[in-house]
């Protein structure tokens, strides 16, 4: 569930609405509004009569087809509805895998499409689309660095702990570069839709502290704040303030694998990691051995873990607990992303965690890899 999956398939960035494209076949065609701008495009190597569709991202992160056209002599024309607020649209071609995202900003646009390499296609016109393209290039640059670094290593090298740490450091460096890029772009273009998408990505990945996020959001234009994405982001930032470091963690309770009810307060130790995970989440499963190691090393000194699973299947949940050897308390409502605890804690991507002290106050967030052990060593290592 991440916004920039419509922009770039970048595995180090958490994204919000990739699933919306899976809804494409379920949406119905709506009549076009000829009062807006026009998107004129060209495409080679497709038969006359091939359909081109433009959909609009809607509230709830579904899609709605707003117009379609048939290719004739390698060209097509799409009519875009006049919009009071810039909208994120998706262009797709009948029989062609993939899609292109662009912004409807009431400006005429040109599309140059390549059937066999849609990712190299371009939609140009307007300041928002230039900004969106620059953002795509920024994400692609970081993604290519990671691919090149990974391709240079063989399987055995990738298993080496030093190499793994170097790769993690590279990912962190690229994420920081992307964060700096986003902040500068948002401040420079507070009235363009890509700024809102970038800010949503930053909030999703928790790459910027709450006060700075709030400052960037406050600097956006009223039109962007009135966009449904802007409204949701404002609500999330308000909710996130209650989850800041130093705040008392919200109370909750849910069912254990044995069928008993367990409350957060019953699971607290001197320090407790509330770990949001799921059997189907591969990054979570890869992180589990690290948490097991830290738990085994510091549990007797007061370090607890409470796993909160976002699974749907009890069988898969129990099998993952057994296979990964997770000895700590576990609870789940088995409601996937509709889990009430996940909603209370503003969880939209996993793994995610909160480190609490014995009074349930948030001490830190999203500690993974060596950062988790370093933090627990700092807190309990001398006891």
> Count of H helices and E strands in the chain?
12, 15
pLDDT in tens, the chain (383 residues): 344 443 333 323 333 333 333 333 333 333 334 467 999 999 988 999 999 999 999 988 889 999 999 999 999 999 999 988 899 999 999 999 889 999 999 999 999 999 888 888 999 999 999 999 999 999 999 989 888 888 887 777 767 778 777 887 888 889 899 999 999 999 999 999 999 999 998 887 777 877 889 999 999 999 999 999 999 899 888 877 778 888 899 999 999 999 999 999 999 999 999 999 999 999 999 999 999 999 999 999 999 999 999 999 999 999 999 999 999 999 999 999 999 999 999 887 899 999 999 999 999 998 988 899 999 999 997 76
CB atoms within 10 A of CB 80: 26
Contact between 106 and 36 under an 8 Å Cβ cutoff? The reply is: yes
Instruction: Say how far apart CA 236 and CA 239 lie, in whole Å.
Output: 5
Alpha carbons 225 and 216: distance in angstroms, whole number: 11
Distance, CA of 92 to CA of 154 (rounded, Å): 37
pLDDT of residue 29: 33
What pLDDT score does 171 carry?
84
Would you state the pLDDT for residue 376? 95
Q: Whole-prediction pTM value?
A: 0.66
**Which domains, ranges and CATH numbers included, belong to the chain?**
3-121 (2.60.40.10), 129-241 (no CATH), 253-380 (3.40.30.10)
CA–CA separation, 87 and 324 (whole Å): 44
pLDDT of residue 117: 85
Report the pLDDT value the prediction gives residue 222, as an integer from 0 to 100.
95
- Give the C-alpha separation, 227 to 233, whole Å: 10
């Amino acid at each position: 569930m991440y916004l920039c999956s419509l922009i770039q398939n970048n595995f180090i960035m958490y994204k919000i609405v990739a699933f919306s494209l899976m809804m494409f076949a379920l949406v119905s065609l709506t009549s076009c509004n000829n009062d807006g701008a026009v998107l004129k495009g060209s495409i080679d190597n497709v038969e006359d009569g091939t359909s081109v569709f433009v959909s609009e991202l809607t509230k709830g992160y579904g899609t709605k087809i707003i117009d379609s056209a048939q290719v004739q002599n390698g060209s097509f024309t799409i009519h875009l509805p006049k919009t009071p607020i810039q909208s994120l649209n998706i262009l797709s071609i009948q029989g062609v895998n993939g899609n292109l995202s662009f912004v409807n900003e009431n400006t005429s646009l040109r599309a140059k499409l390549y059937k066999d390499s849609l990712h190299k296609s371009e939609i140009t016109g307007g300041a928002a689309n230039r900004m969106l393209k620059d953002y795509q290039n920024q994400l692609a640059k970081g993604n290519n660095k990671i691919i090149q670094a990974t391709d240079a290593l063989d399987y055995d090298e990738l298993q080496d702990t030093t190499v793994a740490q170097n790769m993690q450091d590279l990912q962190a460096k690229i994420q920081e570069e992307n964060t700096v890029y986003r902040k500068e772009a948002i401040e420079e273009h507070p009235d363009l839709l890509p700024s809102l998408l970038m800010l949503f990505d930053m909030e999703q990945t928790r790459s910027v502290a709450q006060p700075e996020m709030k400052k960037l959001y406050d600097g956006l234009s009223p039109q962007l704040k009135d966009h449904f994405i802007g409204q949701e982001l404002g609500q999330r930032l308000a909710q996130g303030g209650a989850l800041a470091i130093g705040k008392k963690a919200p109370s909750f309770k849910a069912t254990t694998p044995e069928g008993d009810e367990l409350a957060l307060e019953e699971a607290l130790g001197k320090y407790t990691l509330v770990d949001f995970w799921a059997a189907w989440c591969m990054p979570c499963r890869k992180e589990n051995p690290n948490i097991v190691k830290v738990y085994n090393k510091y549990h007797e000194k007061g370090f607890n873990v409470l796993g909160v699973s976002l699974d749907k299947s009890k069988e898969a949940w129990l099998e993952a607990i057994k296979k990964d050897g997770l000895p700590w308390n576990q609870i789940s409502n088995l409601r996937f992303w509709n889990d009430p605890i996940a909603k209370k804690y503003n969880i939209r991507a996993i793994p995610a965690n909160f480190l609490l002290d014995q009074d349930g106050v948030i001490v830190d967030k999203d500690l993974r890899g060596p950062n988790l052990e370093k933090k627990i060593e700092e807190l309990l290592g001398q006891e």
